[in-house]
């Protein structure tokens, strides 16, 4: 098959720019056009909480690649403020609106990469459109929150105790606000194990963050200035000068769906491991697309920047016929709340049960440094394995030092389909300043192996 001459990429952040850059690098003769409806490309959304924490920084510090650089150095035909409205797969054209010039036009393509990402969910509740009710998804949202903080709000309510909720509880507290987190489900960080969540609860309480789980938010109300002043729930009203809605994201699949491309059971765009959609001339990558899960051996939707970058690169390589395969995800993620590092990978106990495994678990605490070496702190490790086969299924870590990056040992073990015995026998580093002679991961494996039927 010949290499396509005219390639269009829809969406210019992690997945889209990775794909566009990869195509140009591998095949400089291809003309690559990126349509991005916003005003920024290639920024690190993941850094927004930490950027907002520092009043001296600018949100623009997060831009990794400027539009000028993409055009002049990478040779990408980048069109900002261009919204793609429709894809006509039969004709091989897109309908596009250039909002700077208020102009609609059609653009032909030989190959298409869809990298339209995801959007923040805004529940359609009364008052959730008031000034002072924010979401955090793109750079514009980050700038809006920074601006809101300049007005000196005293109290924040965060709706949702997932990744953004936890990161921003820390950030808004650091910016001097009293923070209350409201979570609909019965625990913070739904899907994480209760042992890990207990450490998070302790940390939030130590830092003065109030949280309420099993709470249904009903409305937001305005004060006399017309800005948000409170949030009402089924268990009371909470004063708020700033409300951050962090209740999850939805994949932007409407464009793909209307054009007839297959949408997977997860609600994201179905792709094979070449990042190809149900139409062989169309690839998809990043938060709008599914990803193959190496443990579950099927597609899942776990929208993360690390996956968006990898999938975008593979989609781009395959557009120019490199024949690359995305090996898949195991669901590795981590974050920091105050001084606590948290990370997880694989599937949790409940999900493992739902998927038909017979899970066994172990939770241990071990010091981050050798006995007698000053300054060590506990690292908590929680592991999940299948009772019958001993296959490692997942793990979580929490601790104030040396916790988050230890998840990479577990992620590597999962990627290699290791059993608990394999994990227990890993030759991990030991030196008193950064590990105990039995690394916390190995101590957890030692405990878990006692519960496995066939070690
Ligand atoms: P997006 O970033 O959503 O970009 C898609 C782009 O497509 C958008 O700019 C949009 O304007 C454009 N677009 C959509 N439709 C059209 C259209 N019709 N026409 C033209 N353009 C269109 N991930 C991690 O792995 N680790 C982290 O620590 C982490 N932290 C995060 C913290 C925050 C606060 C947030 C919000 C996210 C975080 N993430 C993290 C997730 C990560 O940012 C996303 O997974 C990543 O941005 C996805 O990249 P993407 O290119 O697939 O999609
Ligand atoms: P999330 O899915 O992590 O958490 C959403 C939370 O909101 C859940 O706990 C959910 O139960 C709760 N919720 C849903 N509806 C609610 C309601 N009506 N009232 C109260 N609570 C409600 O989503 P997020 O925190 O918005 O983050 C969005 C995405 O950004 C994540 O899926 C993740 O992909 C990405 N992200 C990743 C990181 C990281 O990897 N460090 C950090 C931030 C964001």
Extract the tokens encoding 436: 């105990």
Q: Which atom of ligand 2 is nearest to the CA of 302?
A: 34
In 3D space, the residue among 167, 190, 197 whose CA is nearest the CA of residue 46 turns out to be 167
Distance CA 426, CA 409 (A): 9
The residue contributing the CA closest to ligand 2 atom 36 is 163
Catalytic residue among 3, 46, 198, 322: 46
In 3D space, the residue among 334, 351, 352 whose CA is nearest the CA of residue 343 turns out to be 334
With a 6 A CB cut-off, is 249 part of the ligand 2 pocket?
yes
Distance CA 305, CA 259 (A): 26
With a 6 A CB cut-off, is 317 part of the ligand 1 pocket?
no
Ligand having the closest approach to the CA of 214 = 2
Residues in the chain, pLDDT under 70:
454-455
With a 6 A CB cut-off, is 183 part of the ligand 2 pocket?
yes
* Distance, C-alpha 154 to centroid of its chain: 29
For residues 107 and 8, the answer to whether their CB atoms sit within 8 Å is: yes
Bridge-partner residues for 96, per DSSP? 84, 105
Give the pLDDT of residue 1.
Answer: 76
Ligand having the closest approach to the CA of 118 = 1
Give the pLDDT of residue 2.
Answer: 87
Residue 63's contacts (CB-CB under 8 Å, 6 or more residues apart) are: 40, 41, 42, 43, 139
Q: Which atom of ligand 1 is nearest to the CA of 164?
A: 34
In 3D space, the residue among 270, 310, 274, 312 whose CA is nearest the CA of residue 9 turns out to be 312
CA–centroid distance, 434 to ligand 1, in Å, is: 35
What long-range pairs does 375-382 form, CB within 8 A, spacing at least 24? 375/401, 376/401, 376/436, 377/401, 379/403, 379/406, 379/440, 380/195, 380/196, 380/199, 380/440, 381/406, 381/440, 381/441, 381/443, 381/444, 382/193, 382/195, 382/196, 382/444
288 as an active site residue: the answer is: no
Query: Angle, to 10 degrees, between the axis of helix 305-319 and the axis of helix 14-26?
Result: 30
In 3D space, the residue among 224, 214, 210 whose CA is nearest the CA of residue 158 turns out to be 210
Give the pLDDT of residue 279.
Answer: 98
With a 6 A CB cut-off, is 362 part of the ligand 2 pocket?
no
């Amino acid at each position: 098959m010949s290499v396509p001459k005219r390639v269009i990429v829809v969406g210019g952040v992690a997945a889209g720019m990775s794909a566009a850059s990869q195509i140009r690098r591998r095949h400089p003769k291809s003309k690559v056009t990126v349509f991005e409806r916003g005003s920024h490309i290639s920024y690190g959304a993941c850094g927004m909480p930490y950027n907002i924490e520092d009043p001296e920084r600018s949100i623009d510090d997060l831009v990794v690649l400027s539009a000028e650089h993409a055009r002049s150095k990478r040779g990408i035909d980048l069109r900002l403020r261009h919204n793609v409205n429709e894809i006509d797969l039969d004709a091989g054209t897109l309908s596009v609106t250039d909002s700077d010039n208020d102009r609609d036009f059609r653009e032909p393509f030989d190959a298409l990469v869809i990298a339209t990402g995801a959007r923040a969910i805004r529940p359609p509740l009364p008052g959730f459109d008031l000034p002072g009710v924010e979401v955090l998804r793109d750079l514009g949202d980050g700038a809006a929150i920074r601006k809101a903080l300049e007005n000196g709000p005293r109290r924040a309510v965060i709706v949702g105790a997932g990744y953004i909720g936890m990161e921003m509880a820390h950030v808004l507290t650091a910016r001097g606000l009293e923070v209350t987190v409201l979570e609909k489900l019965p625990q913070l960080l739904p899907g994480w194990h209760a042992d890990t969540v207990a450490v998070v609860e302790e940390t939030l309480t130590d830092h003065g963050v109030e949280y309420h789980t099993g709470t249904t938010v009903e409305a937001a109300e305005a004060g006399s200035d017309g800005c948000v002043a409170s949030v009402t729930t089924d268990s009371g009203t909470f004063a708020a000068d700033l409300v951050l809605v962090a209740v999850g994201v939805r994949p932007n699949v409407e464009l793909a769906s209307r054009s007839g491309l297959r949408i997977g059971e997860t609600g994201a765009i179905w792709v094979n491991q070449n990042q190809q959609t149900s139409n062989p001339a169309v690839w998809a990558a990043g938060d709008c697309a599914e990803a193959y899960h190496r443990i579950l051996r099927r597609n899942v939707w776990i929208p993360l920047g690390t996956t968006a970058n990898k999938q975008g690169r593979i989609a781009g390589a395959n557009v120019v016929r490199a024949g690359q395969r995305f090996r898949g995800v195991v669901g590795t993620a981590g974050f920091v709340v105050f001084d606590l590092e948290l990370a997880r990978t694989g599937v949790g106990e409940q999900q493992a049960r739902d998927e038909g495994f017979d899970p066994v678990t172990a939770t241990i605490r071990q010091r981050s440094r050798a006995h007698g070496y000053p300054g060590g702190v506990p690292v908590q490790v929680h592991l999940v394995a299948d009772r019958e086969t001993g296959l490692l299924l997942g793990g979580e870590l929490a601790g104030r030092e040396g916790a988050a990056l230890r998840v990479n040992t577990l992620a590597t073990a999962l990627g290699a389909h290791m059993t608990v015995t394999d994990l227990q026998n890993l030759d991990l580093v030991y030196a008193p300043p950064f590990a105990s002679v039995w690394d916390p991961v190995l101590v957890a494996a030692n405990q878990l192996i006692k519960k496995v039927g066939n070690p």
